[in-house]
Structure 1
């Protein structure tokens, strides 16, 4: 049996953090948003270390997905705990005025819990590999794209 190093690390981290590990690939059939803007990061009062959190925002453009009929763009916002491995909440306001809410972990994966694409996971592909670093970095990160997972 062959195990890729990345899969093993993800599995170990998932067990250690009690966070579900998503091992599915991006799905071209489910589409997403072909371009993204800069994912901002602003320190705000919150529930993390020293009572702080990180507020993030990014624009998503050129969206095309059967999960988002008639939607061409979105505005992503998230609130994360600073240096605390915890679920983060997100909200995506779509171009048609609808809103999706999501839960994420300290990585690029956001599971949509309500609204368009509910039940699916959206992966924000960043220019820099920041997986598992979102919760302790307050730097901006360019978003290449956003795609739905199988």
Structure 2
């Protein structure tokens, strides 16, 4: 098997098989290359039975045009427990002292509504699947990265 210019060539039953690898999609907005654990702790709140899920995590290795001069940040949000259609407000406190207010949806996408990267949407890439149930229940998960969607 060999790889040259994004094409993988392998012998299959004596015949060469070439498969073009999809090009890496460039993310023009950047993001954060690393993250800690996105916590999930039950707290008093606005969700079912008067409870919420407090989430927080540190991210680092940040770069890109939407985060000029920012290299790390701390994310916090309180999600209403068992309220599967409720958007949630949170924030990123960045290492340069700025703050981005964010609003999240049960699909795992967050939109920055104020501060650095305002108007852009990002997503946590997690070690496991973030589905609508995980989003609103008190589970913690490792963040692999944070990326802005095009």
Larger radius of gyration: 2
Map Cα deviations across residues 39-94 of structure 1 (whole Å, 9 max, x no partner): 01111111111000000001011001101110000100011000002011110000
Where does structure 1 lack aligned partners over 5 or more consecutive residues? 1-25
Question: Counterpart in 2 of 1:22?
Answer: none
Gaps of at least 5 residues in structure 2 are 1-24
Whole-Å separation in 1 of the counterparts to 2:108 and 2:127: 11
Distance 1:101 1:28 in 2: 21
More strand by percentage = 2
Segment of structure 1 superposing worse, 75-84 or 125-134? 125-134
RMSD between aligned residues: 1.3
Q: Give the corresponding residue for 1:119.
A: 119
So what's the TM-score if we normalise by structure 2? 0.79
Cα distance per residue 1:76-131 (max 9 Å; x no partner): 00110000020111100001010000100123210000000000001111110012
The number of aligned residues is: 125
| CA distance, structure 1, for counterparts of residue 56 and residue 123 of structure 2 | 15
SS at 2:117 equivalent: coil
